[in-house]
Structure 1
Amino acid sequence: MPTDRSKSNVLPHSQSAPNSMQLRRVAVTNLKPAPYNPRVDLVPGHPTFEKLRRSIETFGSVEPIVWNCRNGHVVGGHQRLSVLKHLRRSHVDVVVVDLDLPAEKTLNLALNRIVGEWDEGKLAELLKDLTADPSLDLGLTGFDGTEIDHVLANVAITAGLANDDAAFDVAANLQTSKPAITKPGELIVLGDHRLLCADCTVAADVDRLMDGQRAVLFATDPPYLVDYDGTNHPGTKPGKHKTNSPGTNGVIMSRAALPSMRVAHASKLRSRPTKNKDWSGTYGVTWDDADANTDLYDKFIAVAVEHAIAPNAAWYCWHASRRQAMLEAAWIKHGAFVHCQIIWAKNRPVLTRTWYAWQHEPCLMGWLQGNKPPRTQRDVLSTVWHIDTIPNGEQRPDHPTPKPLEVFETPMKQHTRVGDVCYEPFAGSGTQIIAAEKLARRCFALEISPHYCDVIVRRWIHAVGPAKAPRDLVTRYAVQAQGATVKATGKKAVSA
C-alpha cells in the first residue's frame, strides 16, 4: 500500500541505498538556509535572480532543492529558495538527504561548484574548515588541491594582512627594544604561528617549539658567518677610521642574559678601528662571526632533521658564496641531496669593498636523499629569481642581507598548502612569519635574540592589525611609532 510521501519517514542514512533519491514535499518555512553557504545571496533585480524567477514561473520548480533532514539545512538550492519565497510559494518538493555536518558541507560545495557567484570570504572559511578534517575526500567538492590553495591564499592576501609590511620600520622598532620585552625561553603564539626565543641547536628547545608537529618546508636565512664589524677589510685611509663602541649603536647583551645560548659574537665586542661598515652594534648578540667554524651549521641541521622537519621536506638555505662548500658538506653529512642552486638577482648592487659589487645571493635547494618533496604549484620557475631589494629607508636598513617576502613566499607556493607548517630556525626580523601569514601557512620559528623577538611580535601585529591580534600582546608590545601608539583593541591572547 503506497504511503503519503508528504508524511513518510526518511530512512536513516545507513539504510539508504547510495543511488536512491527520496522526494518529499515540505513547507517552505521549514527550509533553513545553511549559514555557511558560500554563494552570494540573490535579491530581486539581480540578473541571476530574475532568470530563475522567469524559469520557475514558466516551468515550475523542476529541479528539487536538496534538504538535510537531520538539521533542516538546505544543502543545494539556496538561490531557488530565495525565488520561491519571493513568489510566496508555501510548499516545495525536496530531495532528502541524511548527513552529518562535514558531509553536508562537502555536498554543498559539490552542488555549488558549477553556477553562481562566490562569496570569497565564506568560501575560504568553508574550505579551511573542511581541510582541517583529514578524513574528508575534498575531491568530492569539485575543487582540486591547487584550486583550494588558490582560494585560501587569495583571501589571506586581501584579508590576512591589514597593513603593508613594507611600511614597518624594523630598525626603529629594534632601537625601542631596550631593554627587551621578550624573555629568553619564552614561547609566543602569533595567530597560527609559534615563536620561541631560544637556541635552534638545542633539541629540547626545538621539540618545545614544534609540539609534536613536523614541517614540510625547511627554508631559512642562517647567519653567514662573516665579520659584521668590518674588521676583515682593513681601512685604506689612515686617520679616517670609525670605532665600534658596544652598546651605543644598537642592542648589546651580556653573556649572562642568555646562559643557555651560544654567543659567538660577544667575544669580539671590543673597540677596533676600521673605516668599513660596522654591523655589530645592530646585531648585538648573534651567531654571525667569521671566527666561527662549521659547528653551528652542523648542529642546527642535525636538530632540524631529528626534531623539526618531515622526511620529504623541501630544503632552502641562503648562504654567503664563501661558505657554500661548508654548507654543502653539512647537508651531505646529514643525508641531504643538493638539487640545485637558486640565485636571487637583485635590481641594484650592494656597495662593498670587493672588486665587483655584489648584486646576487645564492641559495641551495634540495631534500633528504630519496625523499623528494611534493610540488604544489604547476608553474616551473627559473633558478634565477629577479626580485627587487628592499628600497632605501624601508625595512631593515641596518641589516646587510635583508630579504623581501618573496624569497620565502616562492618556496611556500612550490611545496606547501594552506595550513602547512614551515620551520625557521633563524627568524631574524620575522620575514618568513609574515610571508606565512600572507599565504595562510604556519611558521614555527626560533630566534635567539629577545630584541629581535620584540621586533617580530610588533611586525606581526602591524601586519594583521591590532584588532585581530591578542589584546594583551598588543598592550605588552605597544610602542610609540610614527606619532601614534599601537592601541590595545585586539582579542585576548591564548596562553602558550
Structure 2
Amino acid sequence: MSRPVASIRFDTLAVDRLHTFEGNPRRGNVDAIAQSLDATGQYRPVVVNEGTLTGRAFEVLAGNHTLLAARQLGWAELAVGIIDVDEQTARRIVAADNRTADLGDYDHTALFELLDGLDDLAGTGYSTEDFDKLVAEIISRETRTDPDDAPELPDDPISVTGDIWQLGPHRLAVGDATDFAALEALMDGEQADCVWTDPPYGVDYVGKTKDALRIQGDAAGDLDDLLGGAFASMVAVARPGAPVYVAHADSERLRFETALRQAGVLVRQNLVWVKNTIVMGRSDYHYKHEPILYGFVPGGEGRLGRGGDRWHGDNAQSTTFEFDKPLANRDHPTMKPVALIEAMLANSLRPGGRVLDLFGGSGSTLIAAHQHGSVARLVELDPRYADVICRRSQEHTGVVPIRNDGEAVDFTASRG
C-alpha cells in the first residue's frame, strides 16, 4: 500500500527558531550556498519537522546547509515547509535527501547551455574553471577525420540564408557578416573572447582546381565596404580587449589595416604563416608566406597580450608560424591549416572561451576551436560553404547539426 503524502504547510520562521538536524552526515559547501542566496535570494523552502512526535521543535530535515548559510549572511527569516513526523521517518527523510542528490547525474550539454546563457556565474556554485572543465568534457578530442579534411561543395545546398546551425557547442549563421542583426542572432547575447577570421582578399582569386572556385564576395571593388561593415559588427559583439587575428593578402595589407583601425581595433603586429612550398604567381619573388594582422578590440582592463591575465601562451612565441599547407584546397582556395589557427587560439583563448569567425569558409576555425577545447561562432555568406562547414563538423565530431527550427539534419546522408 502506498504511503500517503505528508501534510505540509508553508510559513516564514525566524532563523533563530530553526535547528540543524543532529547527526546530519552531509558536509555541504556553506560558502557556495551563501553566495547563491546572496545572488538570487531563497528560491525553495527549507523543510522542517514541527517536532511534536520527536520532542525537537523546528528541526531541519532538508536544507541544513541553507540554514547555516542564512546564519552566515545574517538573515532574520527563512521560508519553510513544515511537516510533523516521528523519529524513524525524520531519519529516513534526512538520509534520502542526502542520498538522492548523490545518485543524480548531469546532461553535460544541457548544463553547458544553461550556464552559457548567463551573464556571469555568480551565485551558481560554478567557477570559471568549472565551466572550462565542463566544455572540455563536452568537446570530445576523439575526432573521426583528419582536421584538414573538408568535404566537396554541394550542387544543391541544404542551408539557406537566415539559418543558424547548432554544431554541438559551436554555432554557424548563414548570412552576411556586415548584417549586425544576423550577428546578434548568432551570438544570442554572448560576447566573443577572441576573433580569428580569413576574409575575402580582394584579389578576385580563382582557385587552381577543377572547379575553378571563386570566393563569393572576393572582388576588390567591394572590399572596403565589406571589411568596414564586418569589422564594425565584430567590435560590437566582442568583449573589450578581445584579441583579433585577420588573415589577408600581403598586397592588400594597407586596406585591411585601415579598416581595422577605423573600427577602433588596436593593431599590434603582423604575424607570418610560413608555408612548406611556394605559391606560383606573377610576382618576381614567389610567395611562401601569408600575413595575419594581430591586435585587440578597443577597451578592456589590464595589460593586453603577453604579460596580461588573458595571455595563455608562453614567453617564447615569435611572429612566424611554420605549418604545411593543406594537401587539397578544392573547397576553399585560401584554406588555412587547422594547426595554424589552433596555435594562435592557444595563445589568446582559454579552453571554453568563444572565438568568432566572420567569414567561415570551409570551417577551419571551428575545427581548430574544437581541437583546442573552445567554442566557435561562425558566419558564412554562401549556403554551399555553410553546408561544407556542417558536414565537416559532423564528420569530424560525430554530432548531427541542428537547425534553428529544431530539426536535426544528417549532412552525411546520401541525397541522390
What interval of TM-score do these two structures reach, taking the shorter chain for normalisation? 0.5 to 0.7
Aligned pair 1:327/2:304, yes or no? no
Aligned pair 1:375/2:310, yes or no? yes
Taking a change above 3 Å as real, the CA distance of residues 296 and 160 of structure 1, as seen in their structure-2 partners, is same
Query: How far does the alpha carbon of each residue in 1:111-155 deviate from its partner, in whole angstroms, 9 at most, with x for none?
Result: xxxxxxxxxx99x99x979897711598xx9xx96x768856765
- Greater shift, 433-442 or 189-198, is seen at 433-442
Cα deviation, residue 457, structure 1: 0.6
Kept after mapping to 2: 8 A contact 1:427/1:446: yes
Cα deviation, residue 378, structure 1: 4.8
Q: Distance in 1 between matches of 2:197 and 2:263?
A: 17
Query: How far does the alpha carbon of each residue in 1:279-326 deviate from its partner, in whole angstroms, 9 at most, with x for none?
Result: 88423x6011234442211111112223x2122211111111111111
Q: Match for 1:24: what amino acid?
A: G
Q: Distance in 2 between matches of 1:322 and 1:282?
A: 21
Query: What is the 5 A alignment of 1:197-346?
Result: 197-229=174-206, 277=208, 281-283=212-214, 286-306=216-236, 308-346=237-275
TM-score, structure 2 normalization: 0.64
Q: Distance in 2 between matches of 1:15 and 1:279?
A: 81
Query: What is the 5 A alignment of 1:405-420?
Result: 405-420=338-353
Q: Distance in 2 between matches of 1:443 and 1:229?
A: 28
Cα deviation, residue 442, structure 1: 2.2
Partner of 2:412: 478
Partner SS state of residue 332, structure 1: helix
Cα deviation, residue 390, structure 1: 3.8
Q: Match for 1:455: what amino acid?
A: V
Cα deviation, residue 417, structure 1: 2.8
- Find the partner of 2:173 among 196, 200, 216: 196
Q: Match for 1:164: what amino acid?
A: T
Q: Distance in 2 between matches of 1:279 and 1:201?
A: 31
Q: Distance in 1 between matches of 2:163 and 2:21?
A: 58
Kept after mapping to 1: 8 A contact 2:196/2:357: yes
Taking a change above 3 Å as real, the CA distance of residues 154 and 422 of structure 1, as seen in their structure-2 partners, is closer
Taking a change above 3 Å as real, the CA distance of residues 279 and 197 of structure 1, as seen in their structure-2 partners, is farther
Kept after mapping to 1: 8 A contact 2:245/2:295: yes
Partner of 2:159: 182
- Find the partner of 2:366 among 422, 430, 433: 433
Kept after mapping to 2: 8 A contact 1:168/1:462: no
Query: Percent identity among equivalent residues?
Result: 28
Partner SS state of residue 218, structure 2: coil
Q: Match for 2:260: what amino acid?
A: W
Cα deviation, residue 416, structure 1: 2.7
Taking a change above 3 Å as real, the CA distance of residues 216 and 169 of structure 1, as seen in their structure-2 partners, is closer
Taking a change above 3 Å as real, the CA distance of residues 167 and 318 of structure 1, as seen in their structure-2 partners, is closer
Kept after mapping to 2: 8 A contact 1:341/1:365: yes
Q: Distance in 1 between matches of 2:146 and 2:315?
A: 28
Aligned pair 1:163/2:130, yes or no? no
Kept after mapping to 1: 8 A contact 2:193/2:349: yes
Partner of 1:353: 282
Partner SS state of residue 406, structure 1: helix
Taking a change above 3 Å as real, the CA distance of residues 69 and 410 of structure 1, as seen in their structure-2 partners, is farther
Q: Match for 2:144: what amino acid?
A: N
Kept after mapping to 1: 8 A contact 2:150/2:331: no
Taking a change above 3 Å as real, the CA distance of residues 388 and 69 of structure 1, as seen in their structure-2 partners, is farther
Partner SS state of residue 428, structure 1: coil
Q: Distance in 2 between matches of 1:288 and 1:440?
A: 31
Kept after mapping to 2: 8 A contact 1:387/1:406: no
Q: Distance in 1 between matches of 2:409 and 2:135?
A: 26
- In structure 1, stretches of 5+ residues that fail to align are 1-11, 33-67, 74-95, 106-120, 231-276, 486-496
Partner of 1:392: 327
Cα deviation, residue 217, structure 1: 1.0
Partner of 2:35: none
Cα deviation, residue 69, structure 1: 7.4
Query: How far does the alpha carbon of each residue in 1:435-481 deviate from its partner, in whole angstroms, 9 at most, with x for none?
Result: 22233322221101000011111111112115x66595343x2345x
Q: Distance in 1 between matches of 2:241 and 2:98?
A: 34
Taking a change above 3 Å as real, the CA distance of residues 224 and 25 of structure 1, as seen in their structure-2 partners, is closer
Q: Distance in 1 between matches of 2:191 and 2:230?
A: 15
Cα deviation, residue 349, structure 1: 2.3
Taking a change above 3 Å as real, the CA distance of residues 168 and 15 of structure 1, as seen in their structure-2 partners, is farther
Q: Distance in 2 between matches of 1:160 and 1:458?
A: 18
Kept after mapping to 2: 8 A contact 1:186/1:197: yes
Cα deviation, residue 204, structure 1: 1.9
Cα deviation, residue 212, structure 1: 2.1
Number of aligned positions between the proteins: 326
Taking a change above 3 Å as real, the CA distance of residues 229 and 282 of structure 1, as seen in their structure-2 partners, is closer
Partner SS state of residue 376, structure 2: strand
Q: Distance in 2 between matches of 1:214 and 1:405?
A: 23
Query: How far does the alpha carbon of each residue in 1:361-380 deviate from its partner, in whole angstroms, 9 at most, with x for none?
Result: 11111113453545241513
Q: Distance in 1 between matches of 2:218 and 2:98?
A: 55
